[in-house]
Structure formats: C-alpha cells, structure tokens
Amino acid sequence: MKKDIKEKTSFGVWLKKFVSRPGVKSVISSLICILGGFVVGFLVLLILSISSEDIDFADSFRGLFIILGGPFSAGNRGDALYQFGNMLFNCTPLIMTGLSVALAFKTGLFNIGAPGQYLMGAMGSLIVALSIPTSVIPPILVWLLALLVGIAGGMIWGMIPGLFKSLLGVNEVIVCIMTNWIAANIVSWVFSGSQFINVAETKMNFIKKTSVNNVMTPTLGLDKLFSDGSLTSYMDIGIFIAIAIAVVLYIMLNKTTFGFELKACGFNKNASKYAGMNEKRNIMLSMAIAGGLAACGAALWCLNGHQDFKWEVYQSLPDVGFNGIPAALLGGCNPIGTVISAIFLRYINAGGSNLVGQTAFNEYVSQLIIAIIIYFAGFAKFIKDVVIDKWIAERRKKSAAAPAKNKPDGGKED
C-alpha cells in the first residue's frame, strides 16, 4: 500500500515539474486552442449540413478531414506537391510577421504596427530591385541590396513607436495604428503614376514583378521539385532564411546578455532600470528589430520574382501583418514555436482551399473555420498563465495535504 502511494506521489511530482516548464506549458496551451478551434469548426459544419438541403450530412465529416489534410487533401500527388510548395512559400511572410510580434511581446510591447512595417519593407525592396540595372550590377547583389534596404525601411518605421513609447510614454498601440495608415498612404503616393506599375500585363493596381529586372530569390530547384508536372510552385529559399532568422532570434533571447535585458524589460521595466539596464534603449531597439523582421517578410515575398504587389493600399492593410499576432500567440511568443504555428496556420488554410472543390461548402465556410481556429489561438496565453498554472497550484495543495492524511492518527502530532 505504501509502495503504491509512493509511486503515485513520485509520478505526480514528476508530472507537475514537467508541466511547469514554460515550453511544455506553451505547447499544451497551443494544442488545447487548436483542438478547441477544430471542435467548434466541426460543429459549424454539422449545423450547416443539418440546416441546408444542398449539403450532405457526410460532407461535414469529409470537410473536417479535408481541412486536417491541408495541401495533401488535394486530388492527386502532383497537386499535393504543388500546393505544399506554395504553402511553404506563403509561410515565409507569416513567420516573419509572427517573429516581429513575438519579439515585441518579449519586451512587454504589443507590435500591432507589423502591417505598416511590412508595407515599408515591400516598398523599399521593390524600388531597389526594379531601379538598379542588372546589366551593370549582378542580379544577386541587387537582390541582396533590395533585401537589406527593405529591412532598413521596416526598422526605421518600427523605431517610431519605440521612440514615442520610451521618450514620451505614449502607448505603442496607438502610435502603431497611426503609423500603419501613414505607411499605407505613403506607399500609395510613392507608386501612384510611377514607372513601377505593371502596365505591360495591364495590371494597373499592381507593381511589376522583380523578374522583369532578373532579380529573383534563388530557388535551388525547389520550385521544380514541388510541381504538378505542368506548373511549378513559387517555392524558394525564403522559408529557410526565415527559419534561420528564427533560430538566431531564439539564441539571442536565451543565450545573450542583450536578449536577457530585453526579456527583463518585458517582465518589469522599472526593475530592469533599477538593475542598471537602459530600458529606453531596449524598447527602441526591440521595436526597430521587430519592424525589420516584418519588413524582411515583405521583401522575401516581393523578391520572389513571381508576385504582384498591390500598391493601392491606402484603404486596406495587408492581412499577413495582423495574422502574425495569432501566429505569435499560438507559438507562445517563442521564435521556434512561432515558426511551427505559422506553418500550421498556412497548412489548414491550404486544406480550407481544397474544401471548396471537394464538398458542397463554399469558400466563405472554409475561411470561417480557419478564422475560428485563429480566434482560439488568442486564448493560448490565457490557458498557459491561468488554467495550467491554476491546475499546478491545485496539484501542489493536494500533494501538501497528502502526507498528513496518510498518518495513522489523521495527521495529529503526539
């Protein structure tokens, strides 16, 4: 009997220690959010199939499996490879905007300005890539310069909320919202009536593809590897650059003094100041780096060579800038977790696209399911910091009370 109690107690202690780890808590909270999103999404499919005569009841189950299948739920192997390649390509800007939001969160800041930083990065990289003649300078050097200019543009734009926050105490959310729309109007004004508009393909609302100047992100044959035979995907090395940046960011945050100062500033700005850290500098640098990350995602997307960038953005902001928020939250604001969550979000998005062609559900339903899952991603931090911590606290109380109950006299001392 005592042996059984000891084994149960030792297992309980191990379980509490295991679940108490920050990384484990983040993974568990993210999985709960994903599961909750899928359950509610499936209920929506069930309700629609029951209430509509045009939709088969079996379509609700089939639709769930199609979404879970992502790009692999396509009709054949060629389509699956093609969709998978494009999915990985579209992950790149989402990873970068997710990292932008995650880094700011680590410093105690909410970077809702990623859309504006994204636009400034796109504008800078496109102007450089389309202006410098590749007959004079090698295309790869133009590509590298365009990437760096785009990142610099985002860093400058990201530093503006950092300056207002650190020097004037203005809430960064307010400044970020304003800079988003200022950036949208600047981009629209710069490209309006310019030589960069895609007149040749009669796409007057879009900028020329960088391939017209022979400036393209290297593919290393990945675009042909992920193809359906007739069409090659947009896949390039951009996603590997994004993953490498995430790894560097993870090392910086967890293994360097600068990273420790950023996180300390996020935990308690006043305490970090008392400890001798320059909290104002850290806030400015954090927002500048966050802006550069979002801009890097835009530059990698635009410099692919096959993408049309819509320049009339004064009335709308790029969705990928805002989608970086759930990607960061679902990943626990961990750089590696953000990469995984961004890939997951694009994965189910690809499944939602296949839902339209293989079931009676329309495209709005697939977007609704994806939106529900993204909405649940916003509860990841709440589940980690409240639900799981409460469960651990209750387990500790039970463990503390257990020895007293196991005494022969009911826990009373002689």
Exposure of 179 by Cβ count < 10 A (0-12 exposed, 13-18 middle, 19+ buried)? buried
What is residue 57's predicted lDDT score, i.e. its pLDDT? 82
pLDDT of 285: 93
Structure confidence at residue 241 (pLDDT): 96
Q: What is the mean pLDDT of residues 398-411?
A: 59
Confirm if 88 and 225 have CB atoms less than 8 A apart.
no
How confident is the model over 320-337, as a mean pLDDT? 89
59: pLDDT strictly greater than 90: no
Do the beta carbons of residue 290 and residue 110 sit within 8 Å?
Answer: no
Lowest-pLDDT choice from 19-28, 85-94, 363-372, 399-408? 399-408
Residue 44 has pLDDT above 90, yes or no: no
Q: Which residue has the higher pLDDT, 3 or 366?
A: 366
Whether the pLDDT of residue 263 is over 70: the answer is yes
Is residue 219 within 8 Å of 239, Cβ to Cβ? no
Q: Which residue has the higher pLDDT, 330 or 78?
A: 330
Given a cut of 70, whether residue 413 has pLDDT beyond it is: no
CA angle 183, 189, 194 (to 5 degrees): 130
| 21-30, 44-53, 164-173, 199-208: segment of lowest average pLDDT | 21-30
Domain borders along the chain are 81-343+372-403
Phi and psi for 335 in degrees, rounded to 5?
A: -55, -45
Report pLDDT for 320: 92
Spatial CB neighbours of 160, under 8 Å, sequence gap ≥ 6: 175, 179
Which tens digit of pLDDT belongs to each residue from 195-242? 899 888 778 889 999 999 999 999 998 888 888 777 788 999 999 999
Most distant CA pair in the chain, distance: 95
Q: Which of these ranges, 10-14, 151-155, 328-332, has the smallest mean pLDDT?
A: 10-14
Residue 302 — very low, low, confident or very high, per pLDDT cuts 50/70/90? Answer: very high
Q: Distance (Å, rounded) from C-alpha 257 to C-alpha 263?
A: 10
Q: Which one-letter DSSP state was computed for residue 109?
A: -
* pLDDT for residue 64: 85
Per DSSP, what are the bridge partners of residue 207? 197, 309
Mean pLDDT of 287-302: 96
pLDDT over threshold 70, residue 22? no
The pLDDT value recorded for residue 367 is 76
Query: What average pLDDT does the segment 243-249 reach?
Result: 96
Q: 326 exposed, middle or buried (CB, 10 Å; 0-12, 13-18, 19+)?
A: buried
Model confidence at 15, pLDDT cuts 50, 70, 90, reads low
Lowest mean pLDDT among 45-59, 158-172, 219-233, 373-387: 373-387
Output the pLDDT for position 199. Answer: 84
Residue 362: CB atoms within 10 Å:
13
pLDDT score recorded for residue 390: 76
pLDDT of residue 105: 92
Cα 146 from Cα 129, distance rounded (Å): 6
pLDDT, residue 414, reads: 46
Q: What is the pTM (predicted TM-score) of this model?
A: 0.87
Q: What is the structure's pLDDT at 408?
A: 55
Q: Output the pLDDT for position 79.
A: 83
Q: Is the pLDDT of residue 187 over 70?
A: yes
pLDDT above 70 for 16: no
Task: State whether CATH 1.10.3470 applies to domain 81-343+372-403.
Answer: yes
pLDDT score at 407: 54
Report the range of poorest mean pLDDT among 42-51, 182-191, 207-216, 372-381.
372-381
Q: How confident is the model at residue 68 (pLDDT cuts 50, 70, 90)?
A: confident
Give CA separation, 346 vs 6, 90, 222, 343, 362, in Å. 46, 7, 18, 5, 19
